Amino acid sequence: VQLQASGGGLVQPGGSLRLSCAASGRHFSSYVMGWFRRAPGQERAFVASVTRSGNSTYYADSVKGRFTISRDNAKKSVYLQMNSLKPEDTATYYCAATTAPSSSPMRYKNWGQGTQVTVSS
């Protein structure tokens, strides 16, 4: 599966953004989908993941209660709704696909190109 992320931009602290990740190829619904982010000078970090059906979601503690991951298998898309954004959320955000739920980027074999999110006043 090939992935393309979009929706990043510049937003003020406290604002919201919705990231989208469109997939091409077959069997999108057979993949667990995740979002990761990489801030300047830091390693790629887990943000959230959603199971194949969308019934279960997992979040990093740093985003829990502020971010929501969802998917639409009919549209072959996964989303990340980000609310109450903070300057420390500034990073390049990547969507990724794997075959089993995991917070480790090593488990994800398919990656999108990344979309930049900047939170600043």
- Over its length of 121 residues, how does the chain's per-residue pLDDT go in tens digits? 899 999 999 999 999 999 999 999 889 999 999 999 999 999 999 999 999 999 999 999 999 999 999 999 999 999 999 999 999 999 999 999 999 989 999 999 999 999 999 999 9
Between CA 11 and CA 45 the distance in angstroms is 21
Between CA 59 and CA 61 the distance in angstroms is 6
